[in-house]
Amino acid sequence: MRRLFAAVAVCALVGIGAARGEDPVKEKQVRGTADAFVAAWNRHDPKIMAAAWTPEGDLVNPFGRLATGRAEIEKLFTEEHATFMKGTTYSITNYRVRFPTPAIAAVDWDGEVSGMRSADGKAMPVFKHHVFGVFAKKGNHWWMAATRASVPLPTPGAPPAQ
């Protein structure tokens, strides 16, 4: 009976994956865009960071700042990396991608920025945040079209998260 249950569960999971449009090749291509952004961040190269977006793309950083178009996105990263993001390291965990259409990817990841410094030069704790992005395939490349970074807040009245 356990084997029957396990077989049904596996078939259900495979069906769910197919229904979501999971495709390992496309997932790797989309992840490549995110990884190129991370590599550019860690080299502190705002021009290459901004090049991950479509020309008309936009982002809202975790501090609520909106940048629309590559030039504004590059300006935002240039300003940040000249100040509190200077010398930081970016990493991605809990990466997940779904494909609502063959040319659109909905991406979630948890990001961590280490090495941030306050205005007076003091080391700050690792900055944890969540990113949701819409990626669009144009030609043979996946581009960030819109990204939104946020910092989760505790639920009012709930005990602090562990």
H-assigned helices in 68-137: 69-82
Tokens of 23: 């495709």
**Can you give the C-alpha Rg of the chain in angstroms?**
19
pLDDT band at 158 (very low <50, low <70, confident <90, very high): confident
For residue range 94-119, list pLDDT tens digits in order. 999 999 999 999 999 999 999 999 98
CA dihedral 134, 135, 136, 139 (to 10 degrees): 180
For residue range 27-66, list pLDDT tens digits in order. 999 999 999 999 999 999 999 999 999 999 999 999 999 9
The answer regarding whether domain 22-150 maps to CATH 3.10.450.50 reads: yes
The closest alpha carbon to 91, from 117, 132, 49, 126, belongs to 126
User: Would you list the domain boundaries of the chain?
Assistant: 22-150
Asked if 73 and 67 count as a contact pair (C-beta separation under 8 A), the reply is: yes
- Spatial distance between the Cα atoms of 123 and 141, rounded to a whole number of angstroms: 38
For residue range 85-94, list pLDDT tens digits in order. 999 999 999 9
